[in-house]
Structure 1
Amino acid sequence: MTSTPSTPAPHDERSERERIAELARATATGSPLSEAAREPTLAEGLRAYGQRLRGGDIGALPAVLGLLLLFVLFSALRPETFPTAINMANLMVQASSIIVLAMGLTFVLLLGDIDLSAGVAGGASAAVMAIAVNDGGFPWYLAILVGLATGTVIGLLIGLLVARVGIPSFVVTLAFFLALQGVTLSLIGQGGTVPVRDPVIVGIAGANVPVAVGWVLTAVAALAYGGITLKGWLDKRRKGLTRDNMALVVARVVGVALVLVVVTAVLSQNRARVPSITLAGIPYSVPVIVVLLVVLTFVLSRTAYGRHVYAVGGNPEAARRAGISVTRIRISVFLIGSTMAAAAGIIDASRLNSVAPGAGAGNTLLLGVGAAVIGGTSLFGGKGRVSNAVIGGLVIATIANGLGLLNQQAFVNFLVTGGVLLLAATVDAVSRRRRASAAV
Structure 2
Amino acid sequence: RNRFEMPSFVATLSGLLALLGIQLYILGPSGSINLPFDSALVRFGQLMIIPTWLSYLLALTPGVMMVLGDFATRRRRNKANLSSMSPSVVLIKSVSLTAALVFAVYYLERGRGVPWMFGAFVLAVAIMDYALTRTKWGRSMFAVGGNAEAARRSGINVRQIRLTAFMLCSALAAMGGVFSAARLAASSIQAGTGDVNLNAIAAAVIGGTSLFGGRGSAWSALLGVLVIGAISSGLTLLNLSSSLRFMITGAVLAIAVIVDSLARRSRASHGRA
- TM exceeding 0.5: yes
Give the secondary-structure state (helix, strand or coil) at the position aligned to 1:377: coil
CA distance in 2, matches of 1:314, 1:227: 31
Confirm whether residue 265 of structure 1 aligns to residue 106 of structure 2. yes
Maintained 8 Å contact 1:232/1:302 = no
Listed as ranges, the matches of 1:40-439 within 5 Å are: 162-197=1-36, 198-207=38-47, 208-227=49-68, 244-269=85-110, 271=111, 280-439=112-271
Maintained 8 Å contact 2:67/2:94 = yes
**Which gives a bigger RCO, structure 1 or 2 (Cα 8 Å, sep 6+)?**
1
Change (3 A) 1:433 1:178: same
Maintained 8 Å contact 2:151/2:158 = yes
Change (3 A) 1:175 1:231: farther
| Deviation of the 1:233 alpha carbon | 6.4
CA distance in 2, matches of 1:247, 1:292: 30
Change (3 A) 1:419 1:242: farther
1:26-56 residue CA offsets vs partner (Å, 9 max, x unmatched): xxxxxxxxxxxxxxxxxxxxxxxxxxxxxxx
Give the secondary-structure state (helix, strand or coil) at the position aligned to 1:194: strand
Maintained 8 Å contact 2:64/2:94 = no
So what's the TM-score if we normalise by structure 2?
Answer: 0.89
Give the secondary-structure state (helix, strand or coil) at the position aligned to 1:164: coil
CA RMSD of aligned residues (A): 2.4
Maintained 8 Å contact 1:191/1:357 = no
Maintained 8 Å contact 1:217/1:287 = no
1:233-284 residue CA offsets vs partner (Å, 9 max, x unmatched): 6666667778644432332232222211111111122x3xxxxxxxx32122
Change (3 A) 1:246 1:169: farther
Maintained 8 Å contact 2:203/2:225 = yes
1:113 matched residue in structure 2:
none
**Identity rate, percent:** 36
Number of residue equivalences = 270
Residue type of the partner of 1:168?
P
1:352-397 residue CA offsets vs partner (Å, 9 max, x unmatched): 1100023223332221111101111000000101112211111111
Give the secondary-structure state (helix, strand or coil) at the position aligned to 2:270: helix
1:293-331 residue CA offsets vs partner (Å, 9 max, x unmatched): 211111111111111111111111121121111111111
Maintained 8 Å contact 1:181/1:358 = no
- Higher Cα Rg, which structure: 1
CA distance in 1, matches of 2:259, 2:100: 26
CA distance in 2, matches of 1:241, 1:321: 31
Maintained 8 Å contact 1:221/1:290 = no
1:106 matched residue in structure 2:
none
Change (3 A) 1:361 1:335: same
Maintained 8 Å contact 2:67/2:90 = no
Maintained 8 Å contact 2:208/2:220 = yes
| Deviation of the 1:192 alpha carbon | 2.4
Maintained 8 Å contact 1:190/1:357 = no
| Deviation of the 1:231 alpha carbon | 5.2
Change (3 A) 1:221 1:332: same
So what's the TM-score if we normalise by structure 1?
Answer: 0.57
Maintained 8 Å contact 1:310/1:383 = yes
